Amino acid sequence: DGLKCEPGETYIMNVMVSGHPYWVPVYQGFKQAAEAFGCKTVFSGTPDYDITKQIASFEQDMVKQPAGILLHPMQADPFIEPINRAIDSGTEIVTFAADSPKSNRTSYITSDNLAEAKFAAEEIVKQVGDSAEYAVLENPGQSNHDLRVTALISYMEEHYPNMKLVGRQATNQDSNAAYRATGSILQANPNLAALWIPEAGSAEGAVAAVLEAEAKVLIMHADVTPTTLEHIKAGNIHMALNPNQGMQGFMGFMATFLAAHSDVFDPFNDYKVSGYNPVQIPYVDNGFAVITKDNADSFDLNVYMEGRDPS
Amino acid sequence: MRETGLIAIILVLFIVMSFASPYFLTWVNMRAMVMAFAVEGIVVVGMTILLISGGIDLSVGSVTALAMVIAGWLFLNGVDPWVASAISIAACTGIGAFMGFFVTRVGLHHFIVSLAIMVIARGACLLGTGGRPLGLFTLPPEFKFIGQGSIGPIPVVIIIFLAVVIGFDFMLRRTTLFRKVFYTGSNEKAAAYSGIRTKRVIFFTTTLCSALCGVAGIIYMARFGSAQPTFGIGMELNVIAAAVIGGASLKGGSGTIFGAILGAVLLSVVSSSLALLDVSVYWQDIIRGSILLTAVSIDHYLVKKRA
Amino acid sequence: MRETGLIAIILVLFIVMSFASPYFLTWVNMRAMVMAFAVEGIVVVGMTILLISGGIDLSVGSVTALAMVIAGWLFLNGVDPWVASAISIAACTGIGAFMGFFVTRVGLHHFIVSLAIMVIARGACLLGTGGRPLGLFTLPPEFKFIGQGSIGPIPVVIIIFLAVVIGFDFMLRRTTLFRKVFYTGSNEKAAAYSGIRTKRVIFFTTTLCSALCGVAGIIYMARFGSAQPTFGIGMELNVIAAAVIGGASLKGGSGTIFGAILGAVLLSVVSSSLALLDVSVYWQDIIRGSILLTAVSIDHYLVKKRA
Amino acid sequence: MTDDVILKISNLSKSFGPVRALKGVDFELRQGEIHALAGENGAGKSTLMNVIDGILQPDSGEILFDGVPVRIASPAMAQKLGVGFVHQETALCPDVSVAENIFMATTNASRSLLMNYRTLEQKAAEVLGELVDINPATLVRDLSISHQQLVEIAKALTLDCRVLILDEPTAALTEKEAQILFRIMRRLADKGISIIYISHRMVEIFDNCDRVSVFRDGQYITTRNVSEITPDDVVNAMVGRVIDELYPRKQTEAERSDEIILNVRNLNERSRFRDVSFQLRKGEILGLAGLIGAGRSEIVKGICQLEGEVSGEVALNGKTLSLSSYQDSIAEGIVYLSEDRKGDGIFLDMPIAGNVSALKPEQVANGFGLILRQKEESQAEALGARLNLKYGSLTDPVSSLSGGNQQKVAIAKMLSVNPKLIFLDEPTRGVDVGAKAEIHRILRNLAASGVGILVISSELPELIGVCDRVLVVREGRISGEVTGDRMTEENIMHLASVGGAQAAIQ
Ligand SMILES: Nc1ncnc2c1ncn2[C@@H]1O[C@H](COP(=O)(O)OP(=O)(O)OP(=O)(O)O)[C@@H](O)[C@H]1O
Ligand SMILES: Nc1ncnc2c1ncn2[C@@H]1O[C@H](COP(=O)(O)OP(=O)(O)OP(=O)(O)O)[C@@H](O)[C@H]1O
Ligand SMILES: [Mg+2]
Ligand SMILES: [Mg+2]
């Protein structure tokens, strides 16, 4: 009765590179929400960075006829057809952290990368002034990382024209590559004041290089790992912007669950004739947290995961 | 037949899985499983032929991605998608010829040449897309048909895949042209002494492999309706592994298309099974690697025993 | 000397770069450049020796990561970091022995065995960390010293690196033990007919390579103060490329440590230079690949001409 | 034979770096003749042939084919000119069937799109039929080295050629196969095909060839009709002196000893040989004769644990051995010189000095296991000098040596460890007369000093000339033994092919 799962009603969270730590708190949020409604959950996807494999795993999820799938589509367009097929066969689909906007998915839950970039830009200017040199590391080809970088650069160009971008290196989440690249940037730019890094893996390498060169560079990055967390506590990294993964999972579940239980809701629109799911939520911002020396202790994932089942 | 052992291993996996999961032996699952390796299978064909001739190609993933990017970029700039595809496949063939030149004329090793091309082609993908996927949603339906359509219950992709596999398997076994590939790979000197222009043969197999990457890239593009610059990273290991599991030698001279495809099937069945059984992602790699090692060992044992 | 060509190419790069960037020829930049490949250089040593014996190892990246994870996990669970490191290196040695077993006893090819181990070790990293990087900030300073400290102006990492390189280079050139590695790789059958226990030799080189991955992993851990389960993905290609550029043959029987390290230097100088000149990331891969291809071609030409 | 010159080479030179392999040589081949080439190891014979086949390009000089100057750029082009070549080292594709190997050139030249395996195998069986009984469908990698050589010959015979080059084709063949080959050669010559025949066996040259050209140190010396000269003249022209004795003095009755060095009893191997028992006495050189594939090599490899699962008793100097690997065998002082020099005898890409020291690198190392380069090189130098090895530098790879000189490196390797018992499988294959005599002398001295020597050879005159006693192997069994006056080609052939059931012929 009401908003409760039938026995055996299952919700699946499907991702690529399933071993990546990013998914861990997302799935916890997903699971906690599911437990509250008496639903079963499964964490699925492909361990590889491979679109064909993710599609295969998504189609295999479909075979099991779950009530809904919270999906992180590795690429937008390839998933249009599989998503629509899943919805036609009675499985509701919500996307998170990456979207497939042309598909019929009912919702998209994500962090606002533009907001993150804007916040980071303002913070950098606040710390080093509005006419200084800065550099970025990047990971071309991964959309959210790209957005964090390009948005920050264009924001700077627009609002702080005296901020000079002096280095731009692709390090692809590899701490060793980041170590190398940062070392070179530091050599070429002795006046470098700030470094913006769109993910934490590269930040680990970058901070090692900065410490080794004994340079005074303000480091800011997105996401967080235990190591960068310690560097934040030690003051080596100024600040990290961490998407609220728990909320992402929690809201992801809610959106999927509500889509699957849309019979409780009769909105004032044309859903009955158009055939759309009445619970359409185009966009949910899960927000981000600002991690500094002061609040760093709350972001220890290993502490958080103690006593919790990762799968 | 060399492949009997592999077939047996795959059958055993099938039987085990059909008991372990009610979903395994469904049409939809079978279709998903074949779709997962069909296009890559075309690259496996090219790689197997190249391995037989004594070469190797690490650039297959990048070149496949580049094929998508070139065709996608041309299409977005107003070129007819079929023409764009033809140009793209021609470009990939050109890349293969370029590698062939460095191997046969300059005298470098396939490994290092294809490694450099792998880096260059990936760079070209980034440059051509600015690092962002190209959305090709507007591709005309008759073009998308080759990637997404079905003829009866059979997806077009699978039909193309089977045509390529059967065609090349036949040619490799029966035509004089492809026998020269075996001779060259088995003992290049002996082949040359018999008047075979071994450099041409190696040039040909190198070029063919890249051309097939081009074909695969176009099918991927039609299937996904997009071109991703980071597509196919790490594909080379998968593809080489399939060929080697299927009996191709890294030293050249031996291998079959049929065996290589069985290798691809084995890898795909294992991956699919783990996903279907909801094995924890933290265990999947360990199990996958162990099954691979076990399967290859059993196959090796069976082959040795028979010999 | 086989390496003269490479040295010349590197020198030319140095001269060009010192004109192109005022920062290039500074002590700090040189130091950073050496630091950038020093630890990986230890793996290059192991790989070169393995290649000489006729083997190959795709698992080096995963095993290096696993070394970090094992030592890090033990440390977080209260084990003394030095003891944890010793256990971790021993475990990596065990992995190498395991691979050696499959290669020499079961008779599988290095390629496929190390591919399976690459997957398994990566899985073990995930399992051991739950997919999350281990923060090892609390490692005692005297331990971190091996990764972050300096003796005089010279970083400890570089000292360790030089010790490993010089030690193995000397042994490879001079000792009877390593001479057997060359015999085995040059012609395994002839080596067996000369009374060399070729399987033991291959077992040894396979094990040694993994053990050196273990050492590298520990140094990385001390240096970065963390253990990332995703560390070292794709490292194998870099490492093999360095060895091959330096003159090691994928067929076995030839190669030098000195050359392989020059190969690593070349790759590193190119990367550093591109970063130092702030070349657009969209162009870097293309330029990097092209320089690699050009350098290898020139080196090949010089070697051939001299012969 | 006519007097029409089909191939004429004048003033041709070829160098490999500092090594001048051919110095302005001349050569003339007439239609329908069998023309022998003689010369010491490293004289340049194979190099000249490689030039004719387009494998090597000369530095200078002229090649006239039918009086027309040609540049032979590749083997493919040589083929078009009608040159067929049986190489000194077999060059076959191991992963491919015998039939396909034989018809590789035909397949290459054929216009047809598809392979026709059935006719291919039929035709291969026809060509092989005359030579040897091999299933054309077997992979070449499964053949013994002598069978490979026969396949190589069959391959050349199928070529529709005008000039057929045979570079030491009989080095691994026994008398029987060699005689068949000579019959075929004569038939071809009668059809007008010109044959260049390279061999170090004077008897073969004088029995089967029309003319002989002699080379020395890369220089052309002379061409003569064989009817006009004697073997001694040829040897004299090759070596620059007359070799006084081809074979060393044999053991005298008085020197005969009852002391047994090697005692083999009831040696069996699952499929390869049965009930092998024999003794090797101190001071004697024991020979092992038999047809191709009789199992001589396998018996010897079985004794020293290189191959097969062997049961039976082996005693060395009275001590029963329990060998479980070849390493054990070496540790006991038993070494084996392989018949397949390229496959498992030498390390082609490694330096000469490193090859010679390979059996026991510890010998040229100091107490810490460090190899002393000087010690290593002086070892190679000393053994090389004993065997008259021709080389540029000891650091050159063995691949830069001529075939016969590679064989000397393999022998030097065996001698380097001062073994107690040596099995030599075709020890002088490809070695020139002078060096051969030297090797025989060395073997005799070793035997006299108490080292056990067992020689396998397909060259009956060599066995008869060198050995004190010869055992004959037929189909995996010892079919008899000959000594003294009984040691004749007829007796040995008889035991090897038909007889054998009767006890040893004393
Ligand atoms: N690839 C090579 N590199 C360097 N030197 C070579 C090479 N091939 C042959 N030589 C040298 O050329 C000379 C002639 O060698 P070739 O093989 O022609 O001798 P050959 O008369 O055939 O001797 P054999 O009777 O031993 O076969 C030798 O001194 C040999 O060392
Ligand atoms: N690697 C192999 N695989 C299969 N059969 C083999 C192999 N080597 C030898 N044989 C076969 O074993 C038998 C004995 O060969 P072996 O080499 O001992 O004969 P042999 O008397 O030394 O003659 P030769 O060496 O002149 O051929 C032959 O029938 C041969 O074809
Ligand atoms: Mg010769
Ligand atoms: Mg033999």
User: How far is the centre of ligand 1, averaged over its atoms, from the C-alpha of D46 (Å)?
Assistant: 7
Contact status of C123 with chain B (Cβ, < 8 Å): yes
> Residues 6 or more apart from B209 whose CB is under 8 A from it?
B43, B46, B47, B49, B50, B55, B57, B60, B96
Give the tens place of pLDDT for each residue, B241-259.
999 999 898 889 999 999 9
- Is the CB of residue B278 less than 8 Å from the CB of residue A42? yes
Give the tens place of pLDDT for each residue, A200-229.
889 998 998 998 888 899 999 999 888 889
CA atoms within 13 A on the CB side of D386: 17
Mutation for testing the A interface, residue in B231, B270, B283, B292 having most A CBs under 10 Å: B231
How many percent of chain D have pLDDT more than 70?
Answer: 98
User: Cα separation of D412 and D409, whole Å?
Assistant: 5
**Phi, psi (deg, nearest 5) at residue A161:** -60, -20
> Residues 6 or more apart from C229 whose CB is under 8 A from it?
A19, A21, C65, C69, C122, C125, C126, C128, C129, C131, C132, C133
pLDDT of residue A36: 93
**Phi, psi (deg, nearest 5) at residue C154:** -100, 125
User: Cα separation of C51 and C44, whole Å?
Assistant: 10
Give the containing element (helix H, strand E) for B302: helix B281-306
Burial class (CB in 10 A: 0-12, 13-18, 19+), A118: middle
pLDDT, mean of residues D328-355: 92
Does residue A300 carry a pLDDT above 90?
Answer: no
Does residue C141 carry a pLDDT above 90?
Answer: yes
pLDDT of residue D504: 41
Burial class (CB in 10 A: 0-12, 13-18, 19+), A6: exposed
Does residue D302 carry a pLDDT above 70?
Answer: yes
Give the tens place of pLDDT for each residue, B27-52.
888 888 898 899 999 999 999 999 99
Give the tens place of pLDDT for each residue, C159-197.
999 999 999 999 999 999 999 999 999 999 999 999 999
> Residues 6 or more apart from A6 whose CB is under 8 A from it?
none
Tokens of A270: 């044309």
> Is there an atom of ligand 2 within 6 Å of D169 CB?
no
Give the tens place of pLDDT for each residue, D127-152.
898 888 899 999 999 998 889 989 99
A266 band by pLDDT with thresholds 50, 70 and 90: confident
- Say what the alpha-carbon torsion angle A244, A246, A248, A253 is, to the nearest 10 degrees: -170
- Is the CB of residue D462 less than 8 Å from the CB of residue D278? no
User: Cα separation of D495 and D476, whole Å?
Assistant: 13
Does residue C294 carry a pLDDT above 60?
Answer: yes
Select the highest-mean-pLDDT range: B21-30, C30-39, C237-246. C237-246
When CB atoms are compared, the residue of C148, C230, C278 closest to A188 is: C278
Q: Whose CA is nearest to atom 3 of ligand 1?
A: D400
Match 């020099």 to its residue by tokens: D341
pLDDT of residue D296: 92
Instruction: Please tell me what DSSP assigns to residue D13.
Output: E
Compute the nearest-CA separation of B159 from chain A (Å).
17
pLDDT of residue D503: 42
Tokens of B192: 């040359």
Does residue D502 carry a pLDDT above 70?
Answer: no
> Is there an atom of ligand 2 within 6 Å of D136 CB?
no
Compute the nearest-CA separation of D93 from chain B (Å).
5
CA geometry: angle C229, C230, C233, nearest 5 deg = 135
pLDDT of residue C307: 57
pLDDT, mean of residues B126-144: 89
User: Cα separation of C148 and C155, whole Å?
Assistant: 7
Residue A309 identity:
D
Q: Which of C111, C48, C15, C69 is nearest to C214 (CA)?
A: C69
Does residue D506 carry a pLDDT above 50?
Answer: no
User: Cα separation of C121 and C128, whole Å?
Assistant: 10
> Is there an atom of ligand 2 within 6 Å of D298 CB?
yes
**Phi, psi (deg, nearest 5) at residue B273:** -60, -45
Give the mean pLDDT of chain A: 90
B307 band by pLDDT with thresholds 50, 70 and 90: low
Tell me the three-class secondary structure of A196-222, residue by residue: EECCHHHHHHHHHHHHHHCCCCEEEEE
Compute the nearest-CA separation of C283 from chain A (Å).
11
Measured CA to CA in angstroms, residue C130 lies from A310, B282, B285 at distances of: 7, 7, 13
pLDDT of residue A1: 59
When CB atoms are compared, the residue of B102, B284, B300 closest to C108 is: B300
Q: Which of B33, B31, B59, B60 is nearest to B45 (CA)?
A: B60
> Residues 6 or more apart from B171 whose CB is under 8 A from it?
B177, B178
pLDDT of residue A33: 95
| Displacement of CA B232 from its chain's centroid (Å) | 11
CB contact under 8 A, A205 and C224: yes
| Displacement of CA A16 from its chain's centroid (Å) | 12
Give the containing element (helix H, strand E) for C86: helix C81-101
Q: Which of A208, A214, A206 is nearest to A172 (CA)?
A: A206
Give the mean pLDDT of chain C: 92
pLDDT of residue D112: 86
All partners of chain A with 3 or more CB pairs under 8 angstroms? B, C
How does DSSP assign A152-191, residue by residue? Answer: HHHHHHHH-TT-EEEEEEE-TT-HHHHHHHHHHHHHH-TT
pLDDT of residue B114: 96
> Strand A92-96 to strand A218-222: parallel, antiparallel, or no bridges (unpaired)?
unpaired
Give the tens place of pLDDT for each residue, A91-150.
999 999 989 998 999 999 999 999 999 999 999 999 999 999 999 998 877 778 888 999
- Is the CB of residue D475 less than 8 Å from the CB of residue D295? yes
The residue length of chain D stands at 506
A173 band by pLDDT with thresholds 50, 70 and 90: confident
Give the tens place of pLDDT for each residue, D396-406.
999 999 988 99
Does residue B304 carry a pLDDT above 80?
Answer: no
pLDDT of residue D2: 63
pLDDT, mean of residues A5-12: 93
Give the mean pLDDT of chain B: 92
Bridge partners of residue B88, in order along the sequence: none
> Residues 6 or more apart from C194 whose CB is under 8 A from it?
C183, D358, D359, D413
**Lowest-confidence region among A269-278, C120-129, D487-496:** A269-278
Model-level pTM? 0.90
Q: Whose CA is nearest to atom 6 of ligand 1?
A: D400
How many percent of chain D have pLDDT more than 90?
Answer: 60
Residues of D in contact with B180 (CB under 8 A): 107-108
Which of D147, D298, D425 has most ligand 2 atoms within 8 Å of its beta carbon, as the pocket-test mutant?
Answer: D298
Give the tens place of pLDDT for each residue, C194-226.
999 999 999 999 999 999 999 999 999 998 888
C230 band by pLDDT with thresholds 50, 70 and 90: confident
- Beta-carbon count within 10 A of D28 CB: 16
- Is the CB of residue A177 less than 8 Å from the CB of residue A199? no
User: Cα separation of D312 and A208, whole Å?
Assistant: 68
D47 band by pLDDT with thresholds 50, 70 and 90: very high
B186 band by pLDDT with thresholds 50, 70 and 90: very high
CA geometry: angle C31, C36, C38, nearest 5 deg = 85
> Strand A281-285 to strand B150-151: parallel, antiparallel, or no bridges (unpaired)?
unpaired
pLDDT of residue C276: 82
- Judging contact as 3 or more Cβ pairs under 8 Å, the answer for D and A is no
- Is the CB of residue A270 less than 8 Å from the CB of residue A83? no
- Is the CB of residue B236 less than 8 Å from the CB of residue B58? yes
pLDDT of residue C263: 94
Give the mean pLDDT of chain D: 90
User: Cα separation of D393 and D19, whole Å?
Assistant: 10
pLDDT of residue A127: 95
Ligand 2 atom nearest D298 alpha carbon:
18
Residue C242 identity:
A
Tokens of A166: 């002096």
**Phi, psi (deg, nearest 5) at residue B292:** -55, -50
**Ligand whose nearest atom lies closest to the CA of D178:** 2
Give the tens place of pLDDT for each residue, C7-66.
999 999 999 988 888 888 888 788 888 888 899 999 999 999 999 999 999 999 999 999
